[in-house]
Amino acid sequence: MKICKIYEIEGVVQGVGFRPFVFSLAKKYNLKGFVFNSSSGVYIEAEGDEEVFESFEFELQNLTPPLAAIDTVNITQTSLKNFDDFKITKSVYSKVKNTSVSPDMSLCSECEKELKDKNNRRFGYPLINCTNCGPRYSIIRTVPYDRINSSMSWFKMCPKCEAEYNDPLNRRYHAQPISCPDCGPVVKFYDLKGSVTKENPIEKLAYAINEGKITALKGMGGFHIICDALNERAILRLREKKRRKSKPFAVLFASIEMIKEYCDITKEEEKALLSQIRPIVLVKKKKVCALSESIAPNINRIGVFLPYTPLHVLLLEILKKPLIATSANISGEPIITSKEKLVKKLGDVIEAYVDFNRDIINFSDDSVLQLVGKNSIFLRLSRGVAPKSFKTAYTCKESILALGAHQKSAIAIFNNANITMSPFIGDLESVESIEAFERSINTFKNFYDFTPSLLVCDKHPNYASTIWAKKQNIPIIFVQHHYAHILSVMFEHDIKEEVLGIAWDGTGLGDDKTIWGGEFFLCDLKRYKRVCSFKPFKLLGGEGSIENIDRIAFSILYAEKDNAHAAVFLNSFSDEQKYLLERSYEKDINAPLCSSVGRLFDAAAAIILKQKRVTYDGESGLNLEALYDKNVHERYAIVINKNNEIEYIYWFLGMLEDEPRVAASKFINTLAALMVHVAQKYRKKVVLGGGVFQNRTLLEKTIELFEKERIEFFLSENISPNDSGIALGQIIYALNNL
């Protein structure tokens, strides 16, 4: 008996070869009908013999193209239409836009083979792509994902590309960025005078890098600054010009074999590096290797990644050596996407660059990942991962825009039961960053015809995102920063019952108007109660102490100034410094109270390493990690007073007496043991959230102790534990408390 069925499919199903996949399946099972892209996803009507539909539906949902990701499939039976064939028809637009936008994806193996095949018409073509790889999010203005809605709309296909584009059985069927040397964007090499050379631009760039020059290369979602990773002088010049004293650089390698020459990597790290996401993965550098020490001063881990665009592949084929490949931006700002901004902002840094005339509409930086045991922890969600969408069971009628926090900004929206998170934006410290924040909001509005009816933001009144929210004529819900951290992890793991939430980070406004960051909550999806925290200390000089970390150590030890060891540390300051800090402490002048674990790491680094300042977020934690010795099992005393405050002064007095290796190890051991101590008191599932849990050594030790004590715990894996995940937690709060 013949029947007819309708399939309405939502998820990442556009621009990923889904329609030709359906077309081939329909031909296989002799089904008649049609398939098209809609504003909500993919719509199919298919009729044929009833007995084939079970197999058709299994393959439809389980054997999808590599980049496709189905969220929901709605199947209904309808009357027979007596179709005479199966066709792919034109996209149909509607008011409701639910389809998920695919992230940009790295070069696939088939395209790489063609790139290197001298007999292929795209041999050496630096912008080769197909439905299984290439740009998506970075070139799209709105959905459906059609060429007319992308930055490829200006490029008319040649007859050969058009034939591939219109052939349902071709790998490039409706591959929107399809092009070739005859009809596609043009790649050019520029010097800073704007001169363009007629020579091969990639060869010209390689020559400049070999000469020790600092260059830039346009990638998928923005420019990279590139130089020779084996050239110490070039790297030191880059640090000087970019005013980046010690923050690590990422290193781009030609192959996994080349990475293994310089780094010790695990099987899990190798798998992540080779995945089509092609993230930067933090791995252990070999003790003896040719990489410059200036790449990651004072630490034994570096961020490494493999080529993900044909431009990268072609460049490394010539150079055959590792390259520094760091985001082209001013520190804290979004990655630069145009040659005009590149020259304006970094003209005093770079000496040449390669560009192509396909516009980047939406910027996206490289995603960053680290493996901790069996756990994958994203430190930055961007290219290859974001935008990231979740289909939910929430039926809220509000269209919600969550604005995140202030640092490591990202936004999220709730619309038609879907939550969609943006790629990493940056710190909202500059006009450019705030403009990028607003562009990201407008991008999501354009994608989904989204008009927010409700805003959700952080409680901190001075965060740029909160200030922006207050300027809009839209209702606002304010969410406590650390509770949002925990809620994002609870949503990720579908936890609905009460948990012990441990939220440790660098900063965030507490309910008592002090700076929190070392919190233990009993909480569910609606409310939280602070049950334990670190005893507050004073940040002498306010935000200035976040860079001048020796002030934090001064503040903690000042109460013990009669202790001989503490006195030696306090007296290491100049008379003028000591006078000003004592006055700030005694008179409470610009000395806000703080309970942040991130700041405790800073204080520990100031004491153990004699480090006075940090130049980037997390530097003190990385430096202490580098000292950690697994053979040191001791820890400092855990004391919790009657106010449920953790007394840590004994730790810092102990640090003054212990040698650096022992002190750093005992400090990290103590933090891990403290979490176990509190968890055993409350006997709940434990949820970990906040930027401190990016510290690999602390997390490894914590997981080891939790597993030993059989404590069930959850942490961010698909969502970053840092402030990039805040927006998701804000939306979850709103959905459960409206």
pLDDT in tens, 434-479: 999 999 999 999 888 899 999 999 999 999 999 999 999 999 999 9
Strand ranges in 505-575 using DSSP code E only, listed in sequence order: 518-523, 528-534, 537-538
pTM to 2 decimal places:
0.93
Mean pLDDT of 208-216: 97
| Distances in whole angstroms, Cα of residue 690 to Cα of each of 317, 482, 694 | 40, 7, 8
Which range has the worst mean pLDDT, 36-40, 128-132, 610-614, 622-626?
36-40
Question: Residue 193's pLDDT is what?
Answer: 75
CATH (residue range 2-88): 3.30.70.100
Phi, psi of 29 (to 5 degrees): -100, 15
Q: What is the per-residue pLDDT across 322-372, written as a single tens digit (0 to 9) for each?
A: 999 999 998 878 899 999 999 999 999 999 999 999 999 999 999 999 999
Average pLDDT score over the chain = 94
187-369 fold: DHBP synthase (3.90.870)
| Domain range 103-185, CATH class | alpha beta
| Percent of the chain whose pLDDT exceeds 70 | 99
Q: Running DSSP on this structure, what letter comes out for residue 607? A: H
CA distances from 34 to 4, 23, 42, 359, 456 (A): 11, 8, 11, 33, 41
Structure tokens at 144: 């459906």
CATH 3.30.70.100 domain extents, the chain: 2-88
Q: Is the Cα torsion angle 232, 235, 239, 241 positive or negative in sign?
A: positive
pLDDT surpasses 80 at 100:
no
Q: How confident is the model at residue 96 (pLDDT cuts 50, 70, 90)?
A: low
- pLDDT confidence of residue 402: 98
Q: Which CATH architecture does the domain made up of 387-479 adopt? A: 2-Layer Sandwich (3.30)
E strands within 50-126? Answer: 69-78, 86-88
pLDDT tens digit sequence for 583-623: 999 999 999 999 999 999 999 999 999 999 999 999 999 99
* Residues with active-site annotation: 19, 37
What is the average pLDDT across 29-52? 92
Please list the residue range(s) of the chain that carry CATH number 3.30.420.360: 387-479
Q: Has residue 53 got a pLDDT over 70?
A: yes
Highest mean pLDDT among 13-22, 135-144, 284-293, 406-415: 406-415
What pLDDT is recorded for position 94? 66
Write out pLDDT tens, residues 684-698: 999 999 999 999 999
Starting from the edge strand earliest in sequence, which strands make up the sheet with 400-402, in order?
Answer: 388-391, 418-421, 412-415, 400-402, 454-458, 476-479
DSSP state of 293: G
Omega cis (within 30) before 452: no
- For residues 152 and 402, give the distance between their C-alpha atoms in angstroms, rounded to a whole number: 31
Show the tokens assigned to 440.
């990201």
The confidence score (pLDDT) of residue 49 equals 94
Predicted pLDDT at 283: 96
CB burial class (10 A; 0-12, 13-18, 19+) of residue 556?
A: buried
HSE-up (13 A, CA, CB side) for residue 573: 25
416 confidence band (pLDDT: 50, 70, 90): confident
Q: Which CATH architecture has domain 532-715?
A: 2-Layer Sandwich (3.30)
Contact 135, 220 (CB under 8 A): yes
Q: Which residues of 642-652 are buried (b: 16+ CB within 10 A; e: fewer)?
A: eeebbebbebb
User: Rounded to an integer, what distance in angstroms lies between the CA atom of residue 151 and that of residue 120?
Assistant: 26
CB distance 289 to 174 below 8 Å: no
Rounded Cα gap, residues 483 and 490, in angstroms: 11
Per-residue model confidence as pLDDT tens digits over 485-495: 999 999 999 99
Q: Which residue has the tokens 């490894």?
A: 700
Question: Can you list the pairs that 22-31 forms with residues at least 24 positions away whose Cβ atoms lie under 8 Å?
Answer: 22/60, 23/86, 23/88, 23/168, 23/169, 24/168, 24/169, 25/56, 25/59, 25/60, 26/56, 26/86, 27/86, 29/53, 29/55, 29/56, 31/56, 31/86
Nearest residue to 19 (alpha-carbon basis) of 87, 105, 120: 87
The amino acid present at 94, given as its one-letter code, is S
Q: Where in the chain is the domain with CATH 3.90.870.30?
A: 103-185
In the chain, the amino acid numbered 577 is Q
Structure tokens at 47: 């009729």
- Delimiting residues of CATH 3.30.420.40 domain(s) in the chain: 532-715
pLDDT-derived band at 101 (thresholds 50, 70, 90) equals: confident
Average pLDDT for 537-546 = 93
